[in-house]
Amino acid sequence: MRLRYAGTAYHGWQRQKNDLTVQGLVEDALNAILKCKTNVVGCGRTDAGVHAMKYCANFRTEATIPADKLHLAMNARLPDDIAVCDAVEVEDSFHSVFSCEKKEYTYFITNSNIRDPFLENRTWFFPAQLDLSVMREAAAAFCGTHDFSAVRSVGTNVKTTVRTVHYFDVERDGTQLQMRVCANGFLYNMARAMVGTLVFASLGKIKPEEIASVLEKGERSLAGPTAPACGLYMTGVWYGGKAGEMMLK
């Protein structure tokens, strides 16, 4: 299934006992349709308040509902801030997390001294003028293969903290700043901590040329703060050895 959701109302993707989550609602809808308890595997644990323009989740079922009708049945049962865009049958070996080759997150900042009421909970409202060229220099320092411990929040166990950032582009369109970062994987809070470091660099609190040594030292306190969840969107996920957004074989 390919999904889109606005994360404002949810405690992230992952099902939790007492909080409303996207996975919880998606599974509830699916269980009601398939009349069978089904586990839905999402491509990542987006945090509370984080959004997804492109998100992939898979499940196994012996039910015979046609894949190309599933999104209609699902959307009839889901709230308006979650949508299933489409669904396709995939090979047995497919797994939303393990088959994933790379992901893209995009972070939006409204860089203006007047907030935009229509972007409440959708971007990080940041009034102080940000310097695109410094942020680009800082973003370039994250590209490549590094140990990303310095921009990781603890809380999850991972085998390795080494990741490869394929690109980290920073663009400005009027008052909107857009940071698009693609990697073979993201550690917990890594995207938001990198964005926070770009903003820190723009404010002169860290020099872009210092980022390499910050990564080397691996100390979280040396990098910038974690940017707010509301500006972050999952915007791409690639599968199956072929580049292409949400390519499902």
Q: Cβ 29 to its own copies, closest distance in Å? A: 14
Cβ–Cβ < 8 Å for 233, 182: no
155: left (phi over 0), alpha (psi -120 to 50) or beta: left
**Residue closer to its own copies (CB basis): 83 or 162:** 83
Count of residues near its own copies by CB under 8 A: 25
**Residue closer to its own copies (CB basis): 31 or 121:** 121
Binding residue for its own copies, selected from 120, 171, 209, 219, defined by CB under 8 A: 120
Neighbour count for residue 137 (Cβ, 10 Å) = 18
**Contact letters for its own copies, residues 33-62 (x by CB under 8 A):** ------------------x-x---------
Q: Cβ 177 to its own copies, closest distance in Å? A: 18
Burial 225-240 (b: 16+ CB within 10 A, else e): ebbbbbbbbbbbbbbe
Cα–chain-centroid distance for residue 71? 22
**Residue closer to its own copies (CB basis): 109 or 134:** 109
Task: Kindly give the interhelix angle for 67-77 and 22-34, rounded to the nearest 10 degrees.
Answer: 120
Tokens of 101: 């080759």
Q: Cβ 18 to its own copies, closest distance in Å? A: 23
Q: Of the ranges 32-40, 117-125, 132-140, 146-154, which one interacts with its own copies (CB under 8 A)?
A: 117-125
**Contact letters for its own copies, residues 75-104 (x by CB under 8 A):** x----xxxxxxx------------------
Burial 15-25 (b: 16+ CB within 10 A, else e): beeeeebbbbb
What span, in angstroms and rounded, lies between the C-alpha atoms of 196 and 206?
Answer: 11
Active-site residue, from 47, 116, 131, 169:
47
**Residue closer to its own copies (CB basis): 25 or 181:** 25
Q: Of the ranges 58-66, 93-101, 120-128, 185-193, which one interacts with its own copies (CB under 8 A)?
A: 120-128
Q: Is 128 in the site for its own copies (CB under 8 A)?
A: no
Cβ–Cβ < 8 Å for 201, 135: yes
Concerning whether 116 is annotated as a catalytic residue, the answer is: no
The β-bridge relationship of strands 176-183 and 100-110 is antiparallel
Residue length of the chain: 249
Q: Of the ranges 34-42, 115-123, 153-161, 199-207, which one interacts with its own copies (CB under 8 A)?
A: 115-123
**Residue closer to its own copies (CB basis): 14 or 175:** 175
Neighbour count for residue 93 (Cβ, 10 Å) = 8
By annotation, the residues acting in catalysis are 47
Binding residues for its own copies, per CB under 8 A?
Answer: 4-6, 51, 53, 71-72, 75, 80-86, 113-118, 120-122, 125
